[in-house]
Amino acid sequence: MKKPWQPPRVARQSRPRVVRPSRRMFLRGLAAGGAITVGLPLFEMLLNDNGDAWADGEELPTRFGLWFFGNGVRLNSWTPTVGADWQPPADGGLAALLPHKEYVSVCSGLDVKTPRHPHHSGMSAVCSGGPHLKVDDVRDTIVSTMKYPSVDQVAADYFFQEQPTPYRSLEAAVTRFRGTDEGTTFQYLSHNGSVNGETNINPSEESPHRFFDRLFGGETADPLIKQARASVLNAVSDQIADLQPKLGAGDRQRLAQHLDSIADLERRLGAPSPSCTKPDDPGDFPDLGGNEQMAEKNAAMSDLMALALACNLTRSFSIMFSTCGSGAVMWPAGATNGQHYMNHTEPAPWTKQHDSVKFTMSQLAYFLDRLKQTPEGDGNLLDQCSILVCTEHTEGWTHSQDDMPIVICGKGGGRLKGNVHQRDDGGNVSKAALTALRGAGLPLTQFGHEAGSVTSGMTDLEV
């Protein structure tokens, strides 16, 4: 008798595993001596007549995501009206998400209940449902890691046991790490938990080039090898030609759009940069005038992650737009100093921090739009996602961890309502993670650890 799934106390290290999931097709070939894998979208021929389930009646696959940004928000310009059909304050931080409001719900009033330390505890409580683990002291602060697995790894463990995918999870980053030596909570997002204080992380890939290579089986390649490699589509052209006559008109159109997306990504990432071997630079979008190409890199990473999800290469992912305590300079919002420093030095009315949050949410909006524009079944990819959006502080300059700003995006295959704001004054911050995990289909009645443990979620957001 199969034992019911239970969330792990400490998850395994995430590793690529090449398998052939049922119902999905993969084209495989060789290019420049390397193995190439091209995942295909969900074809209509695999679905029931309504397009809302597999032909045998099973539900379509849901995905879980963790999307993180550092340093908190301006709370008075963030919190929207409570209840259904929420509305943000005028020119508020959430205004960029209005075009996707039917897929976006807001949680407010939730507090960190675990023992607190600036940045460290908020990061661990929101992302793992438990306390941070102090590893050492440094200067006037501490070094820490996450004591328990982050929520993306809880979801990955469940999905991978139910139906293995080529990657147990995928991790991406947008802005570079410009933080301090305060441990893995400051530099990384996805954690597998800690064993005897040992670091156990899944590093986020900062390079779109390397992320593209990983998705298509090419591994990390030298720039000169990249120039010599043939297109991944050329490597499987014969298989594409064999597949096309077997598809109906709708599936042929879907295949053409899917292959066009891959080719477009190749073109955008195809020009190698002479700086791409530098260890502190992603290499694909070198700084221009001393500024990171944040929007351009976010678009590339968002497109790649959407493609990976559409191909069912994984069902659990994380995107770290900026790290905990991030020192990234949000120059598109007019900032000239790193965000962490700016949070502690900008005078009232803190317009640069407000504008930085607005810019960050516009980058999340791009990712949501990319998912919404990707058809799946009778809906789209965002219909099948549950994405927890969070940060480690309420407001960075006070290091506050009460009334944490949290958003849950997607419909979770019909488990999440969307367009609802639930306020739970004094509630445990783990409630949001429990609802997001249940929205992805995990059969949980409890989530969190120690003071972060909860048995109820944000029920107004759930169907």
Residue 77 falls within a domain, yes or no?
yes
Residue 227 falls within a domain, yes or no?
no
Q: What integer best gives the mean pLDDT of the chain?
A: 84
Residue 24 falls within a domain, yes or no?
no
More reliable by pLDDT, 290 or 361: 361
Residue 31 falls within a domain, yes or no?
no
List helix spans (H) across 270-389: 294-310, 339-345, 351-372
Mean pLDDT, residues 147-175 taken together: 93
Residue 223 falls within a domain, yes or no?
no
Using CB atoms within 10 A of its CB, is residue 191 exposed (0-12), middle (13-18) or buried (19+)? buried
Count how many domains the chain has.
1
The angle formed by the CA atoms of residues 266, 269 and 173, to the nearest 5 degrees, is: 115
Provide the pLDDT for residue 251: 75
Chain-centre distance of CA 66, in angstroms?
4
Q: Is the preceding omega at residue 349 within 30 degrees of 0, hence cis?
A: yes
Mean pLDDT, residues 177-182 taken together: 86
CA distance 132 to 119: 10
Provide the pLDDT for residue 315: 95
Residue 313 falls within a domain, yes or no?
yes
DSSP string, 183-235: BHHHH-SEEB--BTTB--EEPPB--HHHHHHHHTT--S--HHHHHHPPPHHHH
DSSP code at position 377: T
CA distance 120 to 70: 12
List the CATH number of the domain containing 418: 3.40.720.10
Provide the pLDDT for residue 31: 52
Instruction: Tell me the percentage of the chain whose pLDDT exceeds 70.
Output: 77
CA distance 265 to 304: 8
Rounded to the nearest 10°, the torsion over CA 127, 128, 132, 135 is -100
In Å, how far are 152, 311, 353, 367 from 167, measured between CA atoms?
13, 11, 36, 20
The whole domain housing 86 covers 64-211+281-461
Summarised one tens digit per residue, pLDDT across range 8-35 is 655 444 444 433 334 555 666 655 455 5
Rounded to the nearest 10°, the torsion over CA 350, 352, 357, 359 is 160
Confidence class for position 265, pLDDT limits 50, 70, 90: low
Residue 163 falls within a domain, yes or no?
yes
Summarised one tens digit per residue, pLDDT across range 281-316 is 334 688 999 999 999 999 999 998 998 898 888 999
Confidence class for position 227, pLDDT limits 50, 70, 90: very low
Residue 325 falls within a domain, yes or no?
yes
Q: Which has the minimum average pLDDT: 63-67, 213-217, 285-289, 436-440?
A: 213-217
